[in-house]
Amino acid sequence: MDEGSAALVAAGLGKRYRRGWALRGCAVAVPRGRIAALVGPNGAGKSTLMALATGLLRPTEGTVAVRGKPGFLAQGKPLYQGFTVEEVLHAGRALNPDWDDAYARRLVAEAEVPLGARIRTLSGGQRTRVALAVALGRRPEVLLLDEPLADLDPLARQEVMGALLAEVAEQGTTVLLSSHVIADLDGICDHLLLLSGGRVQLAGDVEELLAEHRLLIGPRELDVPAAAVVERRETGRQSTVLVRGLEPPDDAQAHEPTLEELALGYLRAGRTSGREVAA
Ligand SMILES: Nc1ncnc2c1ncn2[C@@H]1O[C@H](COP(=O)(O)OP(=O)(O)OP(=O)(O)O)[C@@H](O)[C@H]1O
């Protein structure tokens, strides 16, 4: 990876809370203009990485840098519940010297959210669209979104992602987006950062990663070189094996994994090999 062109870079990054390490030895390089998926199970360190990148937390060791004007949408979309949408936009303008009011208002109008409505009366999807308008109103170059899709129904998730994609494609914004629903990120994210137990388990260009892997389905006794196996499961008389950099054997069906199959394979493998960071 060429770190020189990266918009978000971390080296040897670690964060220790009183209970132990939440993140350790993380090397990250998200290339400029990419939409990067930040994926991992509960407690993997995703929010911690976001908070370190935005400067809300200080690293215990190592470094992290955002190269460009940052924008951040924290988990839970913190907007004042008693404010109207108009008041939220007003606060955005008052707090940010480089606020683009026309742009933020256009995004709210596109979401068909009434300006006079109080935040607490909005649906989850509408609230997310307002929170995104506030985050984008600053015209960030690097946008960090911590689970923006949580609590949204599938239709609202699609709408929010569509709106976000249209904006960042137009502006060339770099995005780091965390989500538990990996299927939502398929076809949208072109870079993957997979965290597990506070470590980076897999990172890189999504298309390249998918092309390097195959999901094999074959007989239980399917013979695959151990070095190529990422994860292997046996059900009944069948083996399902995720492999990297291997010409599929003749007695197996092979297909390129989806982003979800790839990520789940690595996450399950990480769980069983006990690579967690000691607390
Ligand atoms: N303020 C804190 N004090 C102590 N421990 C913390 C704190 N914040 C997070 N942790 C711990 O650090 C680890 C990583 O947490 P983090 O919130 O970064 O994970 P996450 O991947 O965002 O999880 P989730 O998917 O559940 O949101 C967890 O073990 C968590 O308990």
pLDDT value for 77: 65
Q: Does residue 43's CB lie within 6 angstroms of at least one atom of ligand 1? A: yes
CA pair distance 236, 217, nearest whole angstrom:
12
- Please give the distance, rounded to the nearest whole angstrom, from the Cα atom of residue 46 to the centre of ligand 1: 8
- Please give the distance, rounded to the nearest whole angstrom, from the Cα atom of residue 218 to the centre of ligand 1: 39
Residue 3 φ/ψ, nearest 5 degrees: -70, -20
CA pair distance 145, 177, nearest whole angstrom:
5
Cβ pair 135, 168 in contact under 8 A? no
Protein residue with least CA distance to atom 11, ligand 1: 22
Q: Which atom of ligand 1 is nearest to the CA of 50?
A: 18
For 3-207, CATH gives 3.40.50.300
| Tokens representing residue 222 in the block | 């399917």
In this structure, of 30-44, 156-170, 214-228, 256-270, the range with the lowest mean pLDDT score is 156-170
Task: Report whether pLDDT(275) > 50.
Answer: no
Q: Which atom of ligand 1 is nearest to the CA of 49?
A: 18
Q: Which residues contact 66 (CB under 8 A, 6 or more apart)?
A: 7, 8, 53, 54, 142, 144
Task: Report whether pLDDT(207) > 60.
Answer: yes
* Domain layout of the chain by residue ranges: 3-207, 208-273
Q: Does residue 80's CB lie within 6 angstroms of at least one atom of ligand 1? A: no
Task: Give the strand order in the sheet containing 6-17.
Answer: 20-31, 6-17, 61-66
Considering the chain, what is the average pLDDT of its residues? Answer: 89
Cβ pair 95, 88 in contact under 8 A? no
Confidence of residue 257 (pLDDT cuts 50, 70, 90): very high
- The DSSP secondary-structure symbol of 256 reads P
Strands 253-255 vs 213-219: parallel, antiparallel or unpaired: antiparallel
Cβ pair 151, 182 in contact under 8 A? no
Q: Does residue 17's CB lie within 6 angstroms of at least one atom of ligand 1? A: yes
pLDDT value for 256: 96
Tens digits of residue pLDDT in 114-132:
999 999 999 888 888 899 8
Protein residue with least CA distance to atom 4, ligand 1: 17
ipTM of the shown complex:
0.96
Give Rg (Cα) of the chain. 21
Q: Is the dihedral of CA 81, 83, 89, 93 positive or negative?
A: negative
Confidence of residue 271 (pLDDT cuts 50, 70, 90): low
Task: Report whether pLDDT(276) > 70.
Answer: no
Highest-scoring range by mean pLDDT, 150-164, 168-182, 225-239: 225-239
In this structure, of 11-15, 18-22, 38-42, 169-173, the range with the lowest mean pLDDT score is 169-173
Protein residue with least CA distance to atom 26, ligand 1: 42
